[in-house]
A and B are shown apart, each in its own frame.
Chain A
Amino acid sequence: MKSEKLIIEKVADCLVRAGSTFREDQKEAYRNALADEQIDSSCWVMKQVLDNALVAEERRSPLCDDTGIPHLFLEVGPNKCVTGALLEEIKEGVRQGLRQLPGRPMAIKGDDYARIDQSGGLDEDSGALAPSPIIIKPVEEDVLRLTVLMLGGGPAIRGITQRVFHKHSVDVVIDEIVSRAIPAVGQLGCSPCTLAIGIGRSQFEATSLMMEAMAKGDFGIQNDFERHITKKVNETNIGPLGLGGKYSVLATFAKIGPQRASGVRIVALRPCCCFEPRRATIAL
Chain B
Amino acid sequence: MEDVIKMLTPFSNKTICQLKVGDVVSISGYIYCGRDAVLPRICKELKEGVWEKRGIDLKGGVVFHTAVSPAGVGPTSSNKLEIEGSFETLSKKGGIKMHLGKGAIKPETVEMLAENNAVFAIIPPVTALLESQTLERECVAWSELGMEALYRIKVENYQAIIAAAKGRSIYDK
Q: Is B15 interfacial (CB 8 A cutoff)?
A: no
Interface 1/0s, chain A 166-183, versus B by CB < 8 A? 000000000000000000
Q: Which of A266-283 contact B (CB under 8 A)?
A: 273-275
A245 on interface, CB distance cutoff 8 Å: no
Which of B22, B71, B102, B159 lies at the interface centre, i.e. has the most chain A CB atoms within 10 A of its CB?
B71
A121-B149 Cα distance, complex, nearest whole Å: 13
Interface residue? B131 (CB, 8 A): yes
Q: Whose C-beta in chain A lies nearest to the C-beta of B69?
A: A104
Is B73 among interface residues, defined by CB-CB distance under 8 A?
A: yes
- Interface size of B by CB at 8 A reads 31
Considering only CB atoms, which chain A residue lies closest to B171 in the complex? A242
Contact A59 B132 (CB under 8 A): yes
Instruction: Flag the segment in A50-58, A198-206, A223-231 that touches B.
Output: A50-58
The interface bits of chain B over 119-159 (1 if a CB of A lies within 8 angstroms of the residue's CB, else 0) are 00010111111011000000000000011000000000001
Q: List 23 A-B contacts (CB under 8 A).
A: A40-B2, A41-B1, A41-B170, A44-B24, A44-B159, A51-B126, A52-B127, A53-B128, A55-B131, A56-B128, A59-B131, A62-B131, A63-B128, A65-B74, A65-B127, A105-B69, A105-B147, A126-B70, A154-B77, A241-B122, A242-B104, A274-B124, A275-B125
Q: Which residues in A have some Cβ–Cβ distance to B below 8 Å?
A: 20, 40-41, 43-45, 48-49, 51-53, 55-56, 59, 61-67, 101-105, 121-122, 124, 126, 154, 189-190, 241-243, 273-275
Could you list 15 further interchain pairs (A-B, Cβ under 8 angstroms) beyond the known A154-B77, A242-B104?
A41-B24, A41-B170, A44-B1, A48-B124, A48-B126, A48-B159, A52-B126, A55-B132, A61-B72, A61-B127, A63-B127, A104-B147, A105-B70, A122-B147, A189-B103
Give the A-binding residues of B (Cβ under 8 A).
Answer: 1-2, 22, 24, 66-67, 69-74, 77, 102-104, 122, 124-129, 131-132, 146-147, 159, 161, 170-171
